[in-house]
Amino acid sequence: MTPDKSPLLKAAPWWRLSTGRTLVVRGGRPLIGTYPISGAKNAVLPLMVSALLTPHLVTLRNVPATLDVAVLAALLQKLGCEMHWSATGAGLSVTLSADRVQPGRIDPELVTRMRASVLLLGALLARCGEARLPMPGGDAIGLRGIDFHVTGLRAMGATVELAGGVIEATAHGGLRGADILLPLPSVGATENLLLAAVSAKGTTRIRNAAREPEIADLAACLISMGARIDGVGSHVLTIEGGLPLAGAIHAVLPDRIELGTLACAAAITDGELSLPHARVELLGVAAPLLDAAGVELRDVDGGVVARRASSGLAGIDLVTGPYPGFATDLQSPAMALLATASGVSTVSETIFEQRFRHVDELRKMGADIAVHGRTARIRGVARLRGGNVTCTDVRAAAALVIAGLGATGKTTLDGLDHLDRGYDRMTEKLAACGADIVRF
Q: Under the rule (CB under 6 A), what is the footprint of ligand UD1?
A: 42, 45, 115-116, 142-149, 184, 186-189, 210, 328-329, 351-352
The whole-angstrom separation of Cα 194 and Cα 200 is 10
The CA–CA distances, whole Å, from 44 to 21, 219, 435 equal 25, 12, 28
Tell me the closest approach of the beta carbon of residue 268 to ligand UD1, in angstroms: 22
Tell me the closest approach of the beta carbon of residue 116 to ligand UD1, in angstroms: 4
The DSSP symbol for 341 reads S
Q: How many CB atoms lie within 10 A of CB 144?
A: 18
Q: Give the residue with the Cβ less far from ligand UD1, 33 or 324.
A: 324
Q: Give the residue with the Cβ less far from ligand UD1, 399 or 407.
A: 399
Q: Give the residue with the Cβ less far from ligand UD1, 341 or 399.
A: 399
Collapsing DSSP to helix, strand or coil, 51 comes out as helix
Q: Give the residue with the Cβ less far from ligand UD1, 162 or 249.
A: 162
Q: Give the residue with the Cβ less far from ligand UD1, 113 or 307.
A: 113
- Given phi > 0 = left and psi -120 to 50 = alpha, else beta, which region is 315? beta
Angle value at C-alpha 151, between 150 and 156, nearest 5 degrees? 95
Residues 6 or more apart whose CB falls under 8 angstroms from that of 50 comprise 58, 123, 195, 218, 221, 222, 225
In angstroms and rounded to an integer, the radius of gyration of the C-alpha atoms of the chain is 21
Nearest residue to 408 (alpha-carbon basis) of 387, 384, 434, 433: 384
Strand-pairing partners, residue 203, are 240
The whole-angstrom separation of Cα 253 and Cα 260 is 15
Q: Give the residue with the Cβ less far from ligand UD1, 97 or 186.
A: 186
| Closest residue to bound ligand UD1 by CB | 188
Q: Give the residue with the Cβ less far from ligand UD1, 75 or 365.
A: 75
Q: Give the residue with the Cβ less far from ligand UD1, 127 or 149.
A: 149
The whole-angstrom separation of Cα 364 and Cα 369 is 11
Chain centroid to Cα 420, Å, comes to: 12
Report the chain's terminal Cα–Cα distance, integer Å.
17
Q: Give the residue with the Cβ less far from ligand UD1, 184 or 370.
A: 184
Collapsing DSSP to helix, strand or coil, 89 comes out as coil
Q: Give the residue with the Cβ less far from ligand UD1, 56 or 357.
A: 357
Residue burial 240-262, b: 16+ Cβ < 10 Å; e: rest: bbbeebebbebbbbbbbbbbbbb
Task: Please give the torsion angle defined by the CA atoms of residues 182, 183, 186 and 192, in that order, rounded to the nearest 10 degrees.
Answer: -30
Cβ neighbourhood burial of 311 (10 Å; 0-12, 13-18, 19+): exposed
The CA–CA distances, whole Å, from 390 to 248, 330, 360, 378, 393 equal 41, 18, 10, 20, 9
Tell me the closest approach of the beta carbon of residue 321 to ligand UD1, in angstroms: 9
Q: Give the residue with the Cβ less far from ligand UD1, 72 or 273.
A: 72
φ, ψ (nearest 5 deg) of residue 289: -70, -40
Chain centroid to Cα 30, Å, comes to: 27
Q: Give the residue with the Cβ less far from ligand UD1, 25 or 426.
A: 426
The whole-angstrom separation of Cα 206 and Cα 198 is 12
